[in-house]
Amino acid sequence: MLGLFASLVLSIWGLVKKRPSLPCALAGLVVLTCSIPAGLHAWGESQSILWTAIYLLTAVVGGASFLRQIILARKGSGAPLIMQAICLLLIPMTAFGGIISCKGWQMDYGKPAAQFHQESLLEKGKPYIGRKITVKGKVERVDTSNPKAAWVYLDGGIRCNFEDFAIMAKSNKVGETVYVDGFLRSCEPGDILIKPALNRDPKAPFSPQ
């Protein structure tokens, strides 16, 4: 988080700096590639106009800072910077390849195929195995003993694997009602598994089956 904030500060500095700077160019690229998927998540999950606008603004700042450094390098004697900046253009392509294969992008950023109260998931969930769903349920227990495999258990035998999002898993308190997004992997009596799973904004639309 501190690194992203530092990148944003460097990106803003890159908008006013009069000489080309590789750190500013790199920071702008990092801000741009992080802000776009974050904005998609803000819009797709919670329909938040405010946060979508904030992420869009930071993406514009990052992109403008990066392009400005390229322009400054072309006008001056920054040939080495140009060469390095061209190489940096490969970063979004690499990041995109990583994003679409990672669990964060797997969560799809879009609307779930179906939404359920915990009581109805076992009965109605089987047609949605392998697809993204939302379940609303009461937290039975939380297990973060393995930071690479954090679990949140809901009433009704529903296991939600938050994988390495241990901090998010810990935010779920026993006895409280939460909304969880994730891919339904199995839906049998005593074996209801959602993996990977993330908390859903409680203010986001919820239309249960």
Per-residue pLDDT of the chain (209 residues; tens, 9 = 90+): 567 778 888 888 888 888 888 888 888 888 888 888 777 766 665 556 777 888 888 888 888 888 888 888 777 644 455 545 555 554 555 455 444 444 444 454 457 889 999 999 999 999 999 889 999 999 999 999 998 899 999 999 999 999 888 889 999 999 999 999 999 999 999 899 999 899 988 888 889 98
Helix, strand, coil share of the chain (percent; to 5)? 50, 25, 25
CA distance 25 to 83: 12
Residue 9 phi, psi (nearest 5): -60, -45
Peptide bond just before 37 cis, omega within 30 deg: no
Q: Are strands 177-188 and 158-163 parallel, antiparallel or unpaired?
A: unpaired
CA distance 44 to 108: 9
Is residue 47 within 8 Å of 204, Cβ to Cβ?
A: yes
Q: CATH topology for 114-199?
A: OB fold (Dihydrolipoamide Acetyltransferase, E2P) (2.40.50)
Q: Domain ranges in the chain?
A: 2-101, 114-199
Give me 8's structure tokens. Answer: 């944003």
Q: What confidence score (pLDDT) does residue 155 get?
A: 94
Q: 166-169, long-range: CB within 8 Å, 24+ apart, which pairs?
A: 168/198, 168/199, 169/142, 169/144
**pTM for this model (two decimals):** 0.55
CA distance 65 to 150: 38
Q: What confidence score (pLDDT) does residue 44 get?
A: 60
Q: What confidence score (pLDDT) does residue 93 get?
A: 52
C-beta atoms surrounding 30 within 10 Å? 23
Q: What confidence score (pLDDT) does residue 47 get?
A: 57
